[in-house]
Amino acid sequence: MDGPVKYVKELGPYEPEVVRKYGMVAYFDYDEALTVAKKEKKPLMLDFTGINCINCRKMEAKVWSHPEVMKKLKENFVVVSLYTDVRIPIPENEEFDSKELGEHVNTLGEKYMHLQASKYGAVSQPFYIFLDENEEKLAPDGYAYNPDVQAFIKHLDSVVEEYKKRDK
């Protein structure tokens, strides 16, 4: 796989400018990104985001665009941007009722919001979770909005260190 396939037509126009500008690859489908992460033997970074998320754009513009952060993201991670506010219908056989959201899930955005709420106990964006190939967290907590570049670099480094320990 050279890049994302699923949902590119629908979500590609919303891909953050920083991703395009620096040639970073970001996926839009969890399963596709997990497959790539396993193949490339890299941690998976779940980027819970939204098309209309102001703080998401601030993180991308201030933190992701920092040369050291961008280098680490491009070289050490497979990034999947999970848009929680998109109204893209999911197949009927994938619909379900979410007790966490208190609603019937029938869109991709609701599916990713349910994933974030049910597995990681959060519903705000941006929110970053880092997983190994077994879908186990590489840091005990997610990383919420914090535009401190050095704090994010420190978090990325600790995730890579933990991933390397587990990969032995």
pTM, to two decimals = 0.94
Q: Residue 6: inside a domain, yes or no?
A: no
Distance of CA 165 to the CA centre of its chain: 22
Reduced to 3 states (helix: H, G, I; strand: E, B; else coil), residue 143 is strand
Q: Residue 4: inside a domain, yes or no?
A: no
Q: Residue 99: inside a domain, yes or no?
A: yes
Number of domains the chain is built from: 1
- Amino acid 140 reads P
Instruction: Output the CA torsion sign for 144, 70, 163, 118.
Output: positive
The rounded distance, in Å, linking the Cα atoms of 76 and 61 is 20
CATH number, domain of 71, equals: 3.40.30.10
Q: Residue 9: inside a domain, yes or no?
A: no
Per-residue buried b or exposed e for 125-158, using 16+ beta carbons within 10 Å of the residue's own CB = bbbbbbbbbeeebbbeebbebeeeeeebeebbee
Q: Residue 154: inside a domain, yes or no?
A: yes
Q: Residue 7: inside a domain, yes or no?
A: no
Q: Residue 61: inside a domain, yes or no?
A: no
Q: Residue 74: inside a domain, yes or no?
A: yes
pLDDT tens profile 67-117: 999 999 999 999 999 999 999 999 999 999 999 999 999 999 999 999 999
pLDDT tens profile 36-57: 999 999 999 999 999 999 999 9
pLDDT tens profile 108-149: 999 999 999 999 999 999 999 999 999 999 999 999 999 999
- The residue range of the domain holding 31 is 21-53+66-166
Enumerate residues 6+ apart whose C-beta is below 8 A from 13. Answer: none
